[in-house]
Every structure is written in C-alpha cells, then in structure tokens.
Amino acid sequence: MLPFVPAGRTDGTPSGLTSSATSASVLVFWSYSGLSRRWETALVRLRIGHTLLTHGFLMERAHPPYCDDCLVPLTVRHLIVKCPSLGDLRRRHLSEYRKGDGSYSLSQVLGEEACSVGGNTLSYVEEAGLLQKL
C-alpha cells in the first residue's frame, strides 16, 4: 500500500513540520524504554484512568464495579492512592510520593520516575495483584 501524501506535499510530512522534526518525534515516541509490554500497556491505561478492571463492565454491559472493601466506585485513583485495604502495601512501596497531608500524589505515582524500570509503582501494582487486571 502506498503511503498517504497530503495534497501539495511530496514527502508526506504534515504541513508545519519538517521531515527532520517528524523523524525526531517518531524516534522519541518509539524509543526503547526497557519496560515490559504488559507494564507499558497497563501504565497507559492507568494514566488515562481507563482499565479493564474499572471499565471492563462497558464491554460486558454490566454495572460499574465497586471496591469490595470500601463499597465506592472502583477507579484508578481509588486503587492506586485511596483504597485503605491497600494502605500497608502503598506505604511500603509509594511512601516517597506522599504529600504533607498524608495523601498520595497520583501524578507522581504514575509519573516517569515511579513507573520506570525498577520503579516503585510497578512493585506496588504487582504485589497488589493488579497487573493482570489492568
């Protein structure tokens, strides 16, 4: 199949971008991060707040899930930084992302540093048994 070339362009580069800028952005996007495919997928889902565990009901035409322990709607925020039943595990793995008021920063927990290879968030998610469910 031939690549799509916008009218008026001969190199396929979207208007406003030079071909070297496009190449650089593609290389950054596709650079090897060292993360497993499963964790990369889970991480994207966690960051957009849309996981199989929290939104799988949409495919099954079922009711939205609730946390079995807290009886509140099951969300990524609840799983990662709120649910008290995961509090011990959270303190063990994510204590450095705790704010002054004792709450956890979701943006830091799901940030680049915490989610890198050997980062704390993957350890937390794995030990909580969540990785297969995201």
Nearest distance from C-beta of residue 30 to Zn ion, angstroms: 37
Distance of CA 104 to CAs 41, 58, 74, 91, Å?
Answer: 23, 28, 17, 10
Q: Which of 53, 67, 89, 128 binds Zn ion (CB under 5 A)?
A: 67
Is the Cα torsion angle 77, 39, 113, 121 positive or negative in sign?
positive
Q: Which of 24, 26, 52, 70 binds Zn ion (CB under 5 A)?
A: 70
Q: Which of 11, 40, 69, 113 binds Zn ion (CB under 5 A)?
A: 69
Instruction: Check residue 11 for interaction with Zn ion (CB under 5 A).
Output: no
- Specify the residue for token string 């830091």: 108
Nearest distance from C-beta of residue 72 to Zn ion, angstroms: 6
In this structure, which long-range contacts are made by residues 99-107, counting pairs with CB atoms below 8 Å and at least 24 apart in sequence?
104/80, 105/81, 106/76, 106/77, 106/80, 106/81
Nearer to Zn ion, 52 or 70 (CB): 70
84-109 per-residue burial string, b: 16 or more CB within 10 A, e: under 16: eebeebbeebbeebbeeeeebebebb
Interface with Zn ion by CB under 5 A: which range of 17-25, 30-38, 83-91, 111-119?
Answer: 83-91
Nearest distance from C-beta of residue 71 to Zn ion, angstroms: 8
Instruction: Check residue 83 for interaction with Zn ion (CB under 5 A).
Output: yes
Binding interface with Zn ion (CB under 5 A): 67, 69-70, 83
